[in-house]
Structure 1
Amino acid sequence: MAKKEFEAAHFDEQRYVKNVAVDNVIFGYHDRELKVLLQRPNFLSKWTVAGGYILKTESIEEAAHNIAFMRTGLKGLFLEQFRSFGNPARTKDEWQEIKKVFEGAGVTPPPDSWIQDYSVSIAFYTLTAFSLVKVQKAAIDEAIDWWPVSQLPAMLFDHALIVEEALKALRRDIYHYPIGYELLPEKFTLPEIHSLYETILGKALDNRNFTRKLMSTGIITKLDETRSIGAHRSPYLYKFEKKKYDAALKEGIFLGF
């Protein structure tokens, strides 16, 4: 990104809503681990969740979708707003770190720049199928990668708290929304969806009770297909019923595992 473009992208109060940003906690599920997509800005050792300022021409939800698209290459992902974050020390405590990013790009932040003032973040979490993501760095990123939620690196600002609160929200919502549709492949086995829910909730779930409750919702259906996973082991495959899934998103369900 050229210096002029970099300045326009970060200091132009005519284009952006001042001091209000969107942070998007992008979750994926891989190898029986819940992971979050994090980015590390140039010249810094700490990581952040995906985020950005809100253009005056877009809604908050559009900003969250655009941030998810820019990092994953995928459109129309499931996202949910879960909290806002703001206090006088959010950015001031680590402003010297942020100056390194600008200075590394050959930009000197104006001493009275609005981005140094009180900053509020509207937080969303996004769910995506891990295998479909084509991770994409932003212009100011040194690195972007998946991290297990249980093994986060050093995080900038209050972003460790944002991930923690996103996980709490996901655990709350998993009882009321068919979360698995977003995180699993199109076809899956009952043990796979059982493992997904156990991983997200961080606790063991009785297999029979889990299967009974899940099947009673009608949101998944058994296929006349199996997957060979070893000698004498070929479990049936299942898939989500899209119409019932859409209805469950709109009306809600209750899974009292």
Structure 2
Amino acid sequence: MPHPLDSAYLPHLAYDSVVFGFSGEKLKILILEYHNTGWFALPGGFVGVAEDLDAAVKRGLKERTGLDNIHLEQFHTFGSVQRHRPEVMRTILKESDFAVEKAPWLLERFVSVGYYSLIDYHRVTPRPDALSDSLKWYHVEELPPLLFDHREMVEKALNALRRNLDTMLVGTNMLPERFTIKQLQQVTEAILGDKLHRTSFQRRMLATGLLRRHDKLYTGGSHKAPYLYSFVNKSAGE
């Protein structure tokens, strides 16, 4: 079977993905560990010569998560000359039994386009790629040391997510299709890294026009059962 890096890719262009998931308590990020190195990095990849950039990112995430139709946001392009570390890539390829002579372009300088996404933590069984031993969820505040400028990527992605939080949660599958205000507050607090006042949060969210109220969530006849909500799909004219 041919190695995936034997295929034709654009030189000097890569992408890296900051994949956020909510475990119910903590905000987590998918991190891979390269074969036999103890080196950690964000999942990323390259763009085929006849492939759209967004399509390449979605392809890479589907291969690693099994999920289709993942909502992506492009948040920054990373082009520092300090990213160019050919000795690191040479070691990664060697430990994966891939002859760099087959693809010397991998040792050249790359500009990387950063994307972030929000996905359902509980629906994903992470799948390592051809160069890695593992792909696992890590709490955003307990990440291992990351290669290259990947820690900077995480920080920029998190800041971008926080700036666009209300609109980013709409249309993503980080929450169930129908959820309580408490669940919405929990995921918001995990992303912001801060506790929010319950009444103020509920009032603000209901005032956004982003939520549709449904029947109450009855779990045993309690008269205090909470209402369920879903996001309004404005793109569908709702």
Q: TM-score, normalised by structure 1?
A: 0.83
- Secondary structure at the residue paired with 2:83? coil
- Superposed displacement of residue 227, structure 1: 4.4
Q: What are the equivalent positions in structure 2 for 1:12-27 lying under 5 Å apart? A: 15-27=8-20
CA shift, 1:72, in A, is 0.9
The residue number in structure 1 matching 2:66 is 73
Change (3 A) 1:112 1:176: closer
Asked if 1:206 corresponds to 2:201, the answer is no
Q: Corresponding residue for 1:244?
A: 234
Residues 178, 245 of structure 1: 8 Å contact kept: no
Q: Does 1:122 align with 2:113?
A: yes
Question: In the alignment, is the contact (CA less than 8 A) between 2:14 and 2:44 conserved in 1?
Answer: yes
Q: Distance in 1 between the 2:163 and 2:72 partners?
A: 14
TM-score (norm 2): 0.89
2-side partners of 1:63 and 1:188: how far apart? 32
Aligned-partner residue type, residue 98 of structure 2: V
Is residue 181 of structure 2 the alignment partner of residue 190 of structure 1? yes
Matched residue, 1:29? 22
In structure 1, runs of 5+ residues without a counterpart are: 249-257
SS in 1 for 2:36: coil
Count the aligned residue pairs.
238
Instruction: Pick from 2, 5, 12 the counterpart of residue 10 of structure 1.
Output: 5
Match of 2:138 in 1: 147
1:206-245 correspondence to structure 2 within 5 Å: 206-228=197-219, 234-241=225-232, 243-244=233-234
Aligned to 2:79: 86
* 1:168–1:137 distance in 2 versus 1, CA, 3 Å: same
Cα deviation digits, residues 29-63 of structure 1 (max 9, x gap): 01321111111111121211111010011111111
One-letter amino acid of the counterpart of residue 44, structure 2: G
Runs of 4+ in 1 over 4 A off after TM superposition: 229-233, 245-248
- 1:112 to 1:138, Cα distance in 2 relative to 1, 3 A: closer
Q: 5+ unaligned residues in a row in structure 2: which ranges? A: none
Q: CA RMSD in A?
A: 2.5
* Counterpart-to-counterpart distance in 2, 1:112 and 1:145: 28
